Structure 1
Amino acid sequence: MKKYLRFLTSLKFGIILFIIIALYSVIGTVLPQGMAEEIYLQHYPKFGNLIVALDFNNVYSSIIFRVIIVFFIINLAGCTFNILPGQLLRMKESFFPSIPKDNENLWNSETDIDKFKESLKKNRFTISDKEESSYASKHRFGYIGPSVTHLGIIVIILGGFIGNVFAMEGSFNLIPSETKTFEEEGFSIVLDDFYLDFREDNTTEQYYSEVTIFEDDTKVKEEKIWVNKPLLYKGINFYQSNFGWTNKLLIRNTNDSILYEGQIKDGQNYFDDPHNLFIYLHGFYPDFTMTQMGEPVTKSQKIVNPYYAVALYEHDQYIDSYIIEPGQRITYNDITIEFDEPTLYTGITYRKDFGYYFILLGSLILILGLIISFHFYPKYVFVSSDKILPITKQNSWGYN
């Protein structure tokens, strides 16, 4: 049992885990994450089954990755506990490191030993006098710098693990006047307005969501959200992530009676069951033009020359494609199909990360550990009637 425990907390095992975590991170960066399993099987015929089996399609939330992180936390904690007793022992006043044989002797015939010892005291050295010599020490607590640094790393990783497992996250789309309710948190968020800012060349520079938060029908907060300026409420961060166009779809019969009325976004389709008809909205193009290859594109998001690109399928068989203006109707058998009232919608993602404060605390501990390790490193001086021997990891003059 002790053999396995020693390996579990060994530097060798820690390096192995670190390499595995690095490889997982590379996979999670290179391989698109969070898509349906069928997509991986289709696009990666040789490795698709392996990707799905090892959860490489959801690397950071996979059981395997979480287990590796747990072992890494255990290993790092074990390594810290292994070195901590020795560090605490060296912090005691009774400890004084051995003097290297080739240490530089700073004493010369003009040196006044008593004045030198007084200068050490002024520089906050502790002096321990022996019969024929003295030992000066400073920053003994610097020995625990590596352990404090390890503790900071452990807390950061633990915070990331907690956030990964328990974080509340999601996304939603709203058009002006729509509401998103968070029942468990006891509030709702209403989109008052959404608009774009444009550069001189009409490209989109920024997009803004003006929102109001209500609790029990009482307005509690108004805020404007844009990219890199999220809204924080009750520990939940709301981020402006994307935008798009939603459009009214109308299907009428020959008597001009409305058979269906609803909203549809770019890239979505609607299935008209009575006619076995798929109505696919390829996209809304507010400033429409065509490429040399005949593909519809928009020059900007300003409504200057609006058109829709639509395709119809019956029983999965392609029927035809259409480029139509808002309000223009497509006639198919005994029905007409119409798209109109293009409206911008905002895409907002939200996340409540329970590990945030752990990561913040761990970062502070890590910084403290690095400061202790590299600034408050232990310094010793052996002093006798004809010797001044500094013992430090730095040069002989680093005794301020």
Structure 2
Amino acid sequence: MAAKAKNPVWAFLASVRLALLLIGLLASTSIIGTVVQQNKEPEHYVQAWGKTGAAVIDAFHFDDMYNSVWFLLLLGAFSLNLTVCSIDRLPGVVRLVRKDNLEISPEQLLKMKMQRTVPVGGSVAAAAEKAAAYLTGKGWKTARRDKEGGQILLFAQKGGWTRYGVYVVHISILIILLGAVIGSPTVAKKILKNEQFAFKGGVLLPETRATSRIFSYDDESEIPLGFTVRCDFFDIHFYDNGMPKDYLSGLTVLEDGKEVLTTTIEVNKPLIYKGVTFYQSSYNDMHRPIIHLTNTATGKKMVFPVNPQEYDKTQSWQEADGSQGMLRIQSAESIPSPSGAGSTTKMQIWLMDAQGPPSMFSIFYNQPVIVERPGAKYELRIGPHYATGLQVAKDPGVWWVYGGSALMLLGLWVAFFMSHRKIWICVREEKGGATAVFIGQVNKNSLGFENTFAALAEGFSGNRR
């Protein structure tokens, strides 16, 4: 009976050629996503690629490529191809795993390359019992069937389920792609009609300021966070050549006006709150001074923005014990820099807390001083006022990606490092005595299985009496 012809559409969707084409397109377009920096200001692309290049990048959404409609369609096409391929080929694998391996004739088995003959002696039935007990004792669940000519065939296998390893990999890829789609701002905005479900954006937040909204990278629209985040301080360190060495931000999360979380973030150490991740990405000089005061004993940091028009305004703070502290810039004058390069600002500071008389001292701009008080010690610095640049993302699909990645590792281990091993023992009479012929078959890692197979045959040979 002729095999039923496949539907041409199904055959096309299940073809390996289509899979290779889609993988090639995804790989080549992903290169574009690494060459073209993502989610930058339009001016960046004009400077880097010129007006024509910037227009092409904008037209094809190469500036946010992984969230573009056409890239998501490519992922969808690849997912469809992978699903159809799996459905098309899975029944054959199921049949192979469930196959009745005792239906094969002994003559066919004896044509296989991997075999060992072990003389047993005695009757065929007794030799078969010994062989079956031996395999069972070695952890091989054994089945038996009588064959023509008085022969008895035994069969045992391990690792039949490993043939599904490749389909575990397929499922893991689909889970990862699903996670990518779930976490796409394009899907959240255009399909789910809920831009708060998944988003990528940013905000420039000056020290001491707070915000409950960010701005989308896609169209610069405002996205409410559902809570408030405040920048308590920004700290930056420079190399001797003036290049930034490290910078970090102290952030506080507020809900209903109450502080619920305070932490310090830096590059590669983000803040995660309610599924929203805040990354330290940049900074900006506000071109005005700010006072940084740190209680060295408690580690408490306080910052006070300075209005250049009212620089002598008294600033106050409260210590943990409830006592009040105050400081004020009494005067400020521009003087030549100690290094001889340009000028700097010298300020007279008045500071007092709950203990002792006020402290009066001088401080230079952006040069910290230690202030010793009867009950405390402070580090004081007056330097540039910065705004921290935060990249903000909400990706509900990230755990799907993590789970899919873990499943992929498992599937790859099964697919590449585990195998389906089969052993037959054909027991028959030869030259007046029973002989057991061991036959082995494996779908991969034949060298390793040959060692196991030889050890089984030799073990039975040594224990046959």
Same structural fold, with TM-score higher than 0.5 when normalized by the shorter chain: yes
Q: Does 1:20 align with 2:20?
A: no
Describe how 1:155-304 pairs up with structure 2 within 5 A.
155-164=175-184, 165-166=187-188, 167-182=198-213, 184-197=224-237, 204-248=244-288
CA distance in 1, matches of 2:130, 2:245: 68
2:141 to 100, 122, 126: 126
Per-residue CA deviation, residues 156-206 of structure 1 (Å, 9 max, x unaligned), is: 112112222333121112222110215854311111111124568775432
Describe how 1:310-389 pairs up with structure 2 within 5 A.
342-385=384-427, 386-389=436-439
Deviation at 1:355, TM superposition (A): 1.1
Per-residue CA deviation, residues 72-126 of structure 1 (Å, 9 max, x unaligned), is: 0000111111121122222326356875834121233479876654453244322
Q: Which amino acid aligns with 1:121?
A: T
Q: Does 1:391 align with 2:441?
A: yes
Match of 1:9 in 2: 14
TM-score, normalised to structure 1, is: 0.69
Change (3 A) 1:216 1:51: closer
Q: Contact 1:171/1:350 (CA < 8 Å) preserved in 2?
A: yes
Per-residue CA deviation, residues 199-241 of structure 1 (Å, 9 max, x unaligned), is: 6877543222111111101111111111111111001111111
Match of 2:218 in 1: none
Q: Which amino acid aligns with 1:107?
A: T
Q: Contact 1:90/1:143 (CA < 8 Å) preserved in 2?
A: no
Describe how 1:22-171 pairs up with structure 2 within 5 A.
22-34=27-39, 36=42, 39=45, 43=49, 51-92=57-98, 94-95=100-101, 99=109, 101-109=111-119, 117-131=132-146, 132-164=152-184, 165-166=187-188, 167-171=198-202
Q: Percent identity?
A: 25
CA distance in 2, matches of 1:46, 1:190: 40
Change (3 A) 1:206 1:95: farther
Count of residues in correspondence between the two structures: 320
Q: Contact 1:41/1:49 (CA < 8 Å) preserved in 2?
A: no
Name whichever of 85-94 and 144-153 sits farther off. Answer: 85-94
Deviation at 1:71, TM superposition (A): 0.4
Ranges in structure 1 where 5+ consecutive residues have no aligned partner? 250-260, 262-302, 308-325, 327-339
Change (3 A) 1:31 1:169: closer
Deviation at 1:14, TM superposition (A): 0.7
CA distance in 2, matches of 1:206, 1:88: 57
Per-residue CA deviation, residues 257-288 of structure 1 (Å, 9 max, x unaligned), is: xxxx9xxxxxxxxxxxxxxxxxxxxxxxxxxx
Per-residue CA deviation, residues 123-157 of structure 1 (Å, 9 max, x unaligned), is: 43221111111011112111111111100011111
CA distance in 2, matches of 1:148, 1:108: 40
Q: Which amino acid aligns with 1:16?
A: L
Q: Secondary structure at the match of 2:74?
A: helix
Q: Contact 1:240/1:348 (CA < 8 Å) preserved in 2?
A: yes
CA distance in 2, matches of 1:100, 1:149: 36
Q: Contact 2:112/2:439 (CA < 8 Å) preserved in 1?
A: no
Change (3 A) 1:306 1:109: farther
Deviation at 1:374, TM superposition (A): 3.1
CA distance in 1, matches of 2:170, 2:20: 14
Match of 1:333 in 2: none
TM-score, normalised to structure 2, is: 0.60
Q: Which amino acid aligns with 1:364?
A: A
Per-residue CA deviation, residues 42-84 of structure 1 (Å, 9 max, x unaligned), is: 9457766655544444432222221111100000111111121
CA distance in 2, matches of 1:113, 1:376: 29
Change (3 A) 1:378 1:42: closer
Name whichever of 171-180 and 34-43 sits farther off. Answer: 34-43
Q: Which amino acid aligns with 1:79?
A: C
Q: Contact 1:134/1:384 (CA < 8 Å) preserved in 2?
A: yes
Ranges in structure 2 where 5+ consecutive residues have no aligned partner? 1-5, 122-126, 147-151, 189-197, 214-222, 290-308, 310-340, 346-364, 366-381, 428-435, 457-465
Q: Secondary structure at the match of 2:439?
A: strand
Q: Contact 2:110/2:439 (CA < 8 Å) preserved in 1?
A: no
CA distance in 2, matches of 1:221, 1:48: 41
CA distance in 2, matches of 1:77, 1:101: 38
Q: Contact 1:40/1:51 (CA < 8 Å) preserved in 2?
A: no
CA distance in 1, matches of 2:183, 2:342: 45
